Amino acid sequence: MYSFNEEQWPIVSIHNDGETTLADMEEHIAFWERCLARQEPFGVLLTQNGEAQQSSKEVRALSNQWRLANKPRIAQYCAGMAMVTTSSKMLALYKPIAAMIARKSMGCPGQIFTSKEQARSWLMQHIERLTFLYTTRD
């Protein structure tokens, strides 16, 4: 189950609290579509309770299909994805490869952190950098 928050734009939050259903994934995609429709740089703060759970084949297929079709848009507007975990197991597993996974799967920078404050700071640096690139382009 996901919850979404756009109230602190340009940093948006996605919280995963358990198994992801097909309906959850459809909501997740709609959230991304709203963010991308703004055509402005933004960052994503990801949190979850515990460790990630395996989704069904249908959920993974829908996610992959949408992500692949929209990767250029994501790369254009998503300045970064910051995952926050309190799990030492998740941190040890993903810290060395988080940047590569985010870049390869979503087309944007990514990192894993142990606090929301660290994650927000990192995201703001990336949002400011992307915003600067857009404003100096013309």
Cα 71 from chain centroid (whole Å): 12
pLDDT of residue 71 exceeding 60, the answer is yes
Q: What pLDDT shows up at residue 53?
A: 64
CA-closest candidate to residue 43, choices 102, 93, 3: 102
Find the helix packing angle between 57-77 and 98-106, rounded to 10°.
90
pLDDT of residue 67 exceeding 80, the answer is yes
Length of the chain: 138
Which residue segments constitute the domains of the chain, with CATH numbers given?
Answer: 2-135 (3.30.750)
Q: Give 50's pLDDT tier (boundaries 50, 70, 90).
A: low
Q: What is the mean pLDDT of residues 99-109?
A: 90
Q: What pLDDT shows up at residue 76?
A: 95
Kindly report, residue by residue over 109-138, the tens digit of the pLDDT: 999 999 999 999 999 999 998 888 777 765
> Exposed/middle/buried for 80, CB within 10 Å: 0-12, 13-18, 19+?
buried
Q: What pLDDT shows up at residue 93?
A: 84
What are the backbone angles phi and psi of residue 46, rounded to the nearest 5°? -105, 130
User: CA torsion 105→4→118→51, rounded to 10°?
Assistant: -70
